[in-house]
Amino acid sequence: MFFVETKYSFEGQHPDEKVILFSRRHWFVILLPMIAFAIMALIPLILYIFTESLFARMGLTSIVLFVFTIYYVIWWLSLSYKITMYLMDYWIITDKRVIDSRQHGFFSRSVATAQLNRIQDVTTSINGPMATWLDFGNIEVQTAGTENNFFFYDIPNPAQMRGLIMEVIERRKGKQNKGSYDTY
Amino acid sequence: MNLPLNFLIVNMNYIAILMWFFGAVYIGYVFITLYHLTRFGVGQSPKVFSVVFFVGSIFFLILLLVAYISIDFNIISDSINEIFKKFNMDLLSK
């Protein structure tokens, strides 16, 4: 399966499994690197404006433009790498389990799952003024036994998400499967 | 006995070889990124970004080729020689 079938279908999804919630990190996490990339994009332009006449006198305009083009190609690849890594980190809550998928780099990816009936508690933490203002933070999903706890980092609306996870768990535990879950 | 070793001295265009190498790395990198976005991406955003990235990569590749073709290497070597002469280091002119 190369392109996914529906909006939030994912690799390894069970046939009868329904995605209830899908989340990435908050956009603020990617905003600062994007500003840095925007500044980096302006550097060659500014340099060229100030040194154009000098390079023209030396007859090196074409090579300078070539070097700047290489710079922009590297810039483009670095920018795309950053965005790709942002898009590859995600958390999914289905009607059966919680999935934590994280991309650490190309060819380095970790996927962890926890069944809903193994989840004991969910706690949220919001640290810092920006996180408080923009309402994003971390969620810790505590699992039973020797299983590792799950951490959702920089999630938007953590309190709302915590409530939703708890609701899904309660529904699962109470076997209230008559109604259908809403997909967020 | 004198061995005919002058075949080792080949006037190779090292910049062109470097460009080919850079191009191969670039295409490989673009393929890996697109593969990750389409294979592991969940939701609409990775697919949309993969299209944007693909179009942008082609644009930058064309830009790079145009910039490479427009270089006049003779003018550059003359300019470098002049710079070296200015600093009394006419190493390249020998």
The per-residue pLDDT for range B66-89, each reduced to its tens digit, is 998 888 777 767 767 777 777 766
Reported ipTM: the value is 0.77
Does residue A88 sit at the B interface (CB-CB below 8 Å)? Answer: yes
Does residue A69 sit at the B interface (CB-CB below 8 Å)? Answer: yes
| CB contact at 8 A, A23 and A161 | yes
Contact B79 A60 (CB under 8 A): yes
Q: Exposed/middle/buried for B67, CB within 10 Å: 0-12, 13-18, 19+?
A: buried
Sign of the Cα pseudo-torsion (A157, A119, A7, A108, in order): positive
pTM of the model: 0.79
- Choose the mutation target among A62, A85, A106, A109 for the interface with B, i.e. most B CBs under 10 Å: A62
Assigned token pair, A25: 């990190």
For a pLDDT cut of 90, what percent of chain A falls above it?
A: 26
Q: Using CA coordinates, name the residue in chain B closest to A7.
A: B43
Quick check: helix, strand or coil at residue A28? helix
pLDDT, one tens digit per residue, over B4-58 is 666 555 566 777 888 889 889 999 999 999 998 888 888 888 999 999 999 999 9
Using CB atoms, pick whichever of A59, A65, A87 lies closest to residue B37. A87
Assigned token pair, A124: 């949220």
In this structure, the number of other CB atoms found within 10 A of the CB of residue B72 comes to 13
* pLDDT reported for residue B12: 64
Contact B71 A63 (CB under 8 A): yes
Task: Report how far Cα A140 is from the mean position of its chain's Cα atoms.
Answer: 16
Element (H, E) at A122: strand A119-125
- Choose the mutation target among B18, B25, B32, B40 for the interface with A, i.e. most A CBs under 10 Å: B40
